[in-house]
Amino acid sequence: MLRRMTPYLFVLPLLAFIAVFTYVPIVQSMNLSVREWDFLSPTKPFVGLDNYRLLLDSREFWNALRVTAVFAIISVPLRLLLALFIATQLLRETWVSRIMRGALFLPAVTSTVAIGVVFSWVFSTDYGMMNALLKSIGLPKIAWLQEPHVALWVLIFVNTWKQLGYDIIIYIAGLQAIGPELYDAAAVDGGRKGHVFRRITVPLVMPTTYFLLMISVIEAFQVFTIVDVMTKGGPAGATDMLVNMLYRVGFNLFDIGVGSALAVLLFILLITLAVIKSRVIGRKVHYEA
Amino acid sequence: MGDKMIAKVGKMSGVGLLALLGSTMLVSADVTVEFWHSFGGGSGEALAQIIENFEAENDGITIDAQEIGNYNDIVTKLQAAIPAQRAPDAVIMEVTRYGLFADRGVLKDLTPYVDADPLKDDLFGFAREVGVYEDKNYIVPFNSSTPVLYFNKAIFERAGLSEDTPLNTYDDLLAAAQQITDTLGDEGITGIAAPGQFARWGLIMGNDSDLIDSVSGEILLDAPNTIEAYEFMASLVHEHEVASPDGVTQENNGRDAFLAGRVGMMINSTGNYGRAASSLGDDAVVVPMPCNKVCAVPIGGAGIGILSTSDSEVQDAAYQFISFAASAESNALWFSETGYMPINQQTAQQPLAIEALAEKPGIDVAINQLDFARGRPRPPVVTWMRASEYDLWQAMALGQRDPSEVLTEFAESTRAEAERLER
């Protein structure tokens, strides 16, 4: 009996940790999503699916979903393409590439709040470095964080700048795992650089791409800190992403029921995206050369 | 009827006496009061001094003061801390946003304490009124303010404006802001900071309107004068371009730019007096708010409330501190260091206050505005309305949406939310 139980006992602490900090809150959120509560009232009346109905009928929710989707669709491929390109350039073990890897990784370990504050000033319309630069070359100033179509691009830029280093390091690890004999064979056969990259590098680094895709899509849908620090979802909702809306509804407007319903919808959305990615892209991933 | 009345009065006196005894005598064992507040920098130092003075006079009571963030942060963190049973014992609450917490029973009814405290006779009428919600006293004011108009004398001079330039109406403000921007815009100096929410409220009141009527509770967001005021404020940014849009998306940017000498004028709380004086020195000039249609300003600031979940001896100790913080001596220290208005009628006789009034020009502007200062509404919906207003202001100020359309919609949704909260 004890012998059979031993493995379970080993994983029990971790299971308890995950249960307390992940599974219980998920169940609790689902419960709150069908109730009306403002954090302060002693009662939490059951309201059925009213919170979901309210959310799906609101212009704000569809705007946040659209903004988040645009953010993910642009920022994820941008990150992965840039990271793969830079990783291939930094693959050689030279002192320059080592310094560059460290430099590019620095933003990934820097406080997101600090990055947000610094870039808020960099992109300030009247007092920022970017517009000072534009002015010095005779160009008109741009309302980086006040122009709805521009503000989202600024957030995409800042988020990409922050996350790129992490993606590069993971890609370098993936690229280093590709056996040099494949490149040697391609060289003997007279393979051109682009051809080798398309036919050897891209397919063999696919497991890494798949991993980064999964992670970066989840990150893109959960982006919050940069939005909160730099724009708070503004101007006028132009950068109001799902998690920012969730925070605003739950913690500023005291509607925990609707906030929880939004959290549940986000959870379902991310699970669905993960399943689709697994079905569509996962099949093309080969873990052995 | 008479007997009942006598019994009631007797009962009330008993409760009052108990509260007074509790607040002045019963705190004998060591007690720590966790106190959340929103003051950093110079204001934080002044508060620390008041706490130090209190602890020196009250052996056995420790005030564990924690700076939590701004008023919005406090509301957010408090509501998260309550179900987690991590709420503090005393908390600073902004005067329009404590109603929700009082309504839900989170804040202790301080009426017995206040009734038994001689302090109540010393407080100004406005200061007594701001703590009352539905006939009960839930907070005791600590920092009270009105918005005032600050301008930078050096920028005015360089723009060809005299110190006596009239700044009484919307048109006056716009004309001065326009002249500054036209003259000094190439140097990156703008005429006026985009008004923050407190300033917006002040400009609306000066246009003979309000957001919510403080007496009847009627929602006035779509009243013609409110719409007109928003149209004017929004036009400063997107039409006349005399206010930087930076201050629209991040309200503090406008204030920071003014303090850095990059903006000619700023409408802000009198609580910024200390900061303005230390940043701009003699160039910081304070004048009353414009009276576009009428002279009226909102009373802002915050008071200290006590959480109903705290132990009774901690509540007693917390009230002792609250009473001390509102005393004439403490209030004089606070007034002279920060510029927040005196809340105690005896404050002006204190040496620190006398010195400040004599040596700090403009520190009395907010006090002089008290003649036409108005309390603001504090039903539960105000918290929701204030949190929602930021996005809509951005849409109007950045020229993305028409103020009339936005405010009509906003008024309707606020009425619906008020009804929901009432239920």
Q: Which CATH number does the domain housing residue B79 bear?
A: 3.40.190.10
Higher pLDDT, B420 or B223: B223
Under the banding of pLDDT at 50, 70 and 90, the label for residue B384 is confident
Is residue B14 pLDDT above 50, yes or no?
Answer: no
Same structural domain for residues B177 and B78? no
Cβ count within 10 A of residue A48:
9
Residues 38-57 of A with CB under 8 A from B: 38-42
Task: Give the pLDDT confidence score for residue B26 in this predicted structure.
Answer: 47
A127 touches chain B (CB under 8 A): yes
Average pLDDT value over all residues in chain A: 91
Residues contacting residue B88 through CB under 8 Å, at least 6 positions apart? B34, B35, B36, B66, B78, B81, B307
Give chain B positions within 8 Å (CB) of A154.
Answer: none
Residues contacting residue A193 through CB under 8 Å, at least 6 positions apart? none
Domain parsing of chain A, residue ranges: 46-111+148-284
Is-contact B178 B236, C-beta < 8 A?
Answer: no
Is residue B29 pLDDT above 90, yes or no?
Answer: no
Picking from B394, B405, B409, B410 by the largest number of A CB atoms within 10 A of its own CB, the best residue to mutate is B394
B80 touches chain A (CB under 8 A): yes
Indicate yes or no: CB of B188 within 8 angstroms of CB of A41: no
pLDDT tens for residues B342-355? 889 899 899 999 99
- Which of B355, B314, B313 has its CA nearest to residue B337? B355
Indicate yes or no: CB of A126 within 8 angstroms of CB of B80: no
Residue of A nearest to B238 (CA): A146
Q: How far apart are CA B214 and CA B218, in angstroms?
A: 8
Residue B62: CA atoms inside 13 Å, Cβ hemisphere, count?
6
Task: Give the pLDDT confidence score for residue B294 in this predicted structure.
Answer: 95
Is residue A157 pLDDT above 80, yes or no?
Answer: yes
Higher pLDDT, B241 or B371: B241
Task: Give the pLDDT confidence score for residue A43 in this predicted structure.
Answer: 86
For residue B180, what are the domain limits?
A: 147-298+380-422
B181 touches chain A (CB under 8 A): no
Task: Give the pLDDT confidence score for residue B5 in this predicted structure.
Answer: 45
Same structural domain for residues B259 and B404? yes
Same structural domain for residues B322 and B392? no
Is-contact A275 B103, C-beta < 8 A?
Answer: no
B308 touches chain A (CB under 8 A): no
Selecting from A41, A146, A237 the residue whose C-beta is nearest the C-beta of B391 gives: A237
Residue of A nearest to B257 (CA): A127
Residues 91-110 of B with CB under 8 A from A: 100-101, 104-106
A236 touches chain B (CB under 8 A): yes
Residue bearing tokens 């509501």 = B79
Give chain B positions within 8 Å (CB) of A42.
Answer: 105
3-state secondary structure of A223: coil
Indicate yes or no: CB of A124 within 8 angstroms of CB of B383: no
Mean pLDDT score, B132-154: 93
Same structural domain for residues B224 and B342? no
A35 touches chain B (CB under 8 A): no
Indicate yes or no: CB of B246 within 8 angstroms of CB of A124: yes
Distance from CA of A252 to the nearest CA of B (A): 6
Task: Give the pLDDT confidence score for residue A179 in this predicted structure.
Answer: 86
Is residue B19 pLDDT above 50, yes or no?
Answer: no
**ipTM at complex level:** 0.74
Indicate yes or no: CB of A124 within 8 angstroms of CB of B262: no
- The CATH number given to A46-111+148-284 is 1.10.3720.10
pTM of the complete model beyond 0.90: no
Selecting from A39, A236, A253 the residue whose C-beta is nearest the C-beta of B400 gives: A236
Q: A167: which 2 tokens?
A: 């993606």
Same structural domain for residues B258 and B407? yes
Selecting from B79, B105, B395 the residue whose C-beta is nearest the C-beta of A254 gives: B79
Is residue B4 pLDDT above 80, yes or no?
Answer: no
pLDDT tens for residues B198-251? 999 999 999 999 999 888 889 999 999 999 999 999 999 999 999 999 999 888
Same structural domain for residues B74 and B131? yes
Task: Give the pLDDT confidence score for residue B22 in this predicted structure.
Answer: 44
How many beta-carbon contacts under 8 Å exist across A and B? 85
Under the banding of pLDDT at 50, 70 and 90, the label for residue B11 is very low
Same structural domain for residues B132 and B276? no
Residue of A nearest to B80 (CA): A39
Domain stops at, among B374, B396, B411: B374
3-state secondary structure of A205: coil
Residue of A nearest to B73 (CA): A252
Is residue A171 pLDDT above 70, yes or no?
Answer: yes
Residue of A nearest to B413 (CA): A58
Mean pLDDT score, B151-168: 95
Mean pLDDT is lowest, of A243-247, B6-10, B362-366, B403-407, for B6-10
Task: Give the pLDDT confidence score for residue A288 in this predicted structure.
Answer: 58
Selecting from A41, A240, A252 the residue whose C-beta is nearest the C-beta of B76 gives: A252
Indicate yes or no: CB of A39 within 8 angstroms of CB of B80: yes
Same structural domain for residues B174 and B285? yes
Indicate yes or no: CB of B248 within 8 angstroms of CB of A146: yes
Mean pLDDT score, A81-108: 92
A250 touches chain B (CB under 8 A): no
Task: Give the pLDDT confidence score for residue B28 in this predicted structure.
Answer: 54
Task: Give the pLDDT confidence score for residue B23 in this predicted structure.
Answer: 46
A237 touches chain B (CB under 8 A): yes
Same structural domain for residues B304 and B292? no
Picking from A31, A38, A39 by the largest number of B CB atoms within 10 A of its own CB, the best residue to mutate is A39
Same structural domain for residues B216 and B294? yes
Is residue B188 pLDDT above 50, yes or no?
Answer: yes
Domain stops at, among B334, B358, B374: B374
Indicate yes or no: CB of A126 within 8 angstroms of CB of B244: yes
Mean pLDDT score, B60-80: 91
Mean pLDDT score, A149-160: 94
Burial (CB count <10 Å: 0-12, 13-18, 19+), residue A287: exposed
Task: Give the pLDDT confidence score for residue A287 in this predicted structure.
Answer: 63
pLDDT tens for residues B76-85? 899 889 888 8
Same structural domain for residues B277 and B181? yes
Q: How far apart are CA B12 and CA A261, in angstroms?
A: 47
Task: Give the pLDDT confidence score for residue A50 in this predicted structure.
Answer: 93
B70 touches chain A (CB under 8 A): no
Residue of A nearest to B250 (CA): A231
The b/e string for B202-224 (b: 16+ C-beta within 10 A; e otherwise) is bbbbbbbbbbbebeeeebbbbbe
Domains: count for chain B: 2
Cβ count within 10 A of residue B152:
25
Strands B139-145 and B132-133 come out as unpaired
Same structural domain for residues B54 and B165? no
Residue of A nearest to B406 (CA): A236
Mean pLDDT score, B13-40: 65
| φ, ψ for residue B298, nearest 5 deg | -80, 150
Task: Give the pLDDT confidence score for residue B282 in this predicted structure.
Answer: 92
Under the banding of pLDDT at 50, 70 and 90, the label for residue B339 is confident
Picking from B70, B97, B104, B250 by the largest number of A CB atoms within 10 A of its own CB, the best residue to mutate is B250
Indicate yes or no: CB of A126 within 8 angstroms of CB of B104: no
